[in-house]
Structures are given as structure tokens and as C-alpha cells.
């Protein structure tokens, strides 16, 4: 069931991401990566997404030693999840800042497209 992410709080979105990732681990099998996301704006904050040993874990708060750190607004993050914003275009327009491995940022977008967010 497709969710209306624009009506959801960031806490609800992260709980749903966690639920869906752990219900279907196949798309990220073999991925061992830690992402840090710094989302600005109303309901924003710092979040983490860890893939290790065939499991996914979402976290809230500052993430240390991330393989890939992303910075963007809450509204742009919701657009990205909803398929209305491409990470490459967002990066080129300055809406997305990436520290660390940029290839992992692209991988995250493609991975999240596998789920019904």
C-alpha cells in the first residue's frame, strides 16, 4: 500500500522505512553501509540508516563514522522517497549535499525505490 508521506511525520516515515526494509531484505543483501541523514526544516533532525548482515536498522540522532552522509531538507527528502526528486538532479541543483561515497548516495535512492514509500 502506497503511503502519503506528505501527511506523515518524520518519525512515522522512519518507522515505516524500518518496517518495510526488514520485511523484505532481498534488495540490500550484501550491503554493509552506514548512512547519516541530516534533514533540515520542520520535523527535521539527524537520522541514520544501517545495513549490516542482511538486516536494516534506522536510528535517530547524530551518526558517527557514516560511510555516506546526506544533507537535504525534509520536503526534498519526502520528494525523493515519493519518486518526485532524483538524487542526481538534487545534487546538481544544490538541494542535496553528500559527504563520503557519492556512489552510496545513488545506491540508497535506487534501493528505496524498491519499497512502497
Start-to-end CA span in the chain (Å): 8
DSSP, collapsed to helix, strand or coil, labels residue 60 as strand
- Tell me whether residue 90 is exposed, middle or buried, using C-beta atoms within 10 angstroms of its C-beta: 0 to 12, 13 to 18, 19 or more: buried
Mean pLDDT of 90-102: 94
**Residue 18 within any structural domain of the chain:** yes
pLDDT digits (tens, 9 = 90+) for 57-94: 999 999 999 999 999 999 999 999 888 998 889 999 99
Backbone CA torsion sign across 9, 34, 60, 70? negative
**Residue 70 within any structural domain of the chain:** yes
**Residue 115 within any structural domain of the chain:** no
The strand pairing partners of 84, in sequence order, are none
Query: For residue 70, what is the enclosing H or E element?
Result: strand 68-73
Domain that holds residue 42: 5-110
Q: Supply the CATH number for residue 53's domain.
A: 3.30.1050.10
Answer yes or no: is pLDDT of 1 > 50. Answer: no
**Residue 50 within any structural domain of the chain:** yes
**Residue 117 within any structural domain of the chain:** no
Alpha-carbon distance 116 to 25, whole Å?
Answer: 14
**Residue 74 within any structural domain of the chain:** yes
Structural domain total, the chain: 1
Mean pLDDT of 4-8: 86
pTM, two decimal places: 0.91
Structure-derived torsion over alpha carbons of residues 55, 23, 16, 89, reported in degrees to the nearest 10? 70
pLDDT digits (tens, 9 = 90+) for 10-46: 999 999 999 999 999 999 999 999 999 999 999 999 9
**Residue 116 within any structural domain of the chain:** no
**Residue 69 within any structural domain of the chain:** yes
Alpha-carbon distance 117 to 103, whole Å?
Answer: 22
Amino acid at each position: 500500500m502506497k503511503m502519503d508521506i506528505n501527511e506523515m511525520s518524520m518519525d512515522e516515515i522512519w518507522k515505516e522505512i524500518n518496517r518495510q526494509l526488514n520485511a523484505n531484505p532481498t534488495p540490500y543483501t550484501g550491503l554493509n553501509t552506514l548512512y547519516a541523514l541530516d534533514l533540515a526544516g520542520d520535523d527535521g533532525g539527524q537520522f541514520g540508516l544501517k545495513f549490516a548482515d542482511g538486516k536494516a536498522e534506522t536510528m535517530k540522532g547524530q551518526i558517527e563514522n557514516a560511510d555516506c552522509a546526506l544533507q537535504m531538507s525534509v520536503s526534498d527528502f519526502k520528494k525523493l522517497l515519493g519518486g518526485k526528486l532524483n538524487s542526481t538532479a538534487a545534487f546538481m541543483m544544490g538541494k542535496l549535499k553528500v559527504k563520503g561515497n557519492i556512489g552510496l548516495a545513488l545506491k540508497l535512492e535506487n534501493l528505496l525505490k524498491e519499497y512502497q514509500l
